[in-house]
Amino acid sequence: MSRPSVSTFAFPITAAVSPILSLGAVAGSWATHLRPDVLIIVPLILGAALATRAVASAFAPSVTWLPPAAEGGFQICSIGIALACLSYVGAKTGFPLRDAQIAATDAYIGFYWPTFAHWIDHRPVLLGLFNASYATFTAQLILTAVALFVFKRYDELDRYFLTFICASLLAEVLSSLAPTLGPAASLAPGVSFAHVHMIGRTTAEILLALRNGALTTIDLRSLDGIICFPSLHAAVSILIPFFLRWNRALFWPAVVLNLLMLISAIPSGNHYLADVLGGAGVAAVSIILINTSTAKSPRPRNLAERYVEAGPAWSP
């Protein structure tokens, strides 16, 4: 078997994919007449990462973990921003709303969102727990990447980035083809709740603003999650424990927290039950696709692996 080539990047496959995401976000925004102001952050972060790498190489070569840490931080930011922009681009495609069909799927399963919403509305402590777990979405994504980096699982971190990208793109394509306003807007538009306010209730407002042309600029103030079917929160609730399965001390707390986040997508995230099931399916497909594709050929030895071989001065 041929010896893997050496990459100058700590996470070589992600480094090849993330620029395509950013360029796709720019091209998609231009094609749908959106102004992606938020993307200006990407070259700024890239400049900071390159400067950190240059300074570390020149003045602190023994601090071998710093360049890959800067690269990982850049990838987290650039991937998140590009994928968020692409979700707005997808919402502009204008396919018919599919709330009726998704709600019918829930009914076929035996689930009725308003009934569940009223039930949880009378249990504010449980709802507060769901809201808190739902809000950990971004923090969990970042902390899982940090854990993989600190424990020097660089190949796994590369796959983690790729799997999240794959799951997000699948969710965005499906959401573009089957857009929904969510159950709060379609099943209970005039209903007021004492406690169910839903972090994700703005989904319908943003989607309609994009479709009618009222929202044309994507910036940090307007950037919010708008994917309803399938639920990306549900997908991430599967991905996080999967990528922490190597450490019991991290895995079991992650299982508990993400089980709560999985359920919380319904009352806290303005999701149908079918959204949650779809999100879990997206996660499973993404894990299989990335694990299968990265196992077919020897991947490049990354920069971080060479740091480990050299014996880094910093040890977690």
Mean pLDDT, the chain, rounded, equals: 86
pTM of the model: 0.87
DSSP classification of residue 40: G
Residue 140: pLDDT band (50, 70, 90) is very high
Residue 226: pLDDT band (50, 70, 90) is confident
Please spell the DSSP secondary structure of 202-231, one letter per residue.
Answer: THHHHHHHHHHTS--B--TTT------SS-
DSSP classification of residue 9: S
CA distance 20 to 16: 7
- Is it the case that residue 1 has pLDDT exceeding 70? no
Residue 15's pLDDT is 87
Residue 289's pLDDT is 94
Helix and strand totals (H; E) in the chain: 14, 0
Q: Residue 97's CB: how many other CB atoms inside 10 A?
A: 18
Residue 288's pLDDT is 95
Greater confidence, 302 or 49?
49
User: What digits encode the pLDDT tens for the residues 170-211?
Assistant: 999 999 999 999 998 887 776 777 778 765 567 888 888 888
Residue 153: pLDDT band (50, 70, 90) is very high
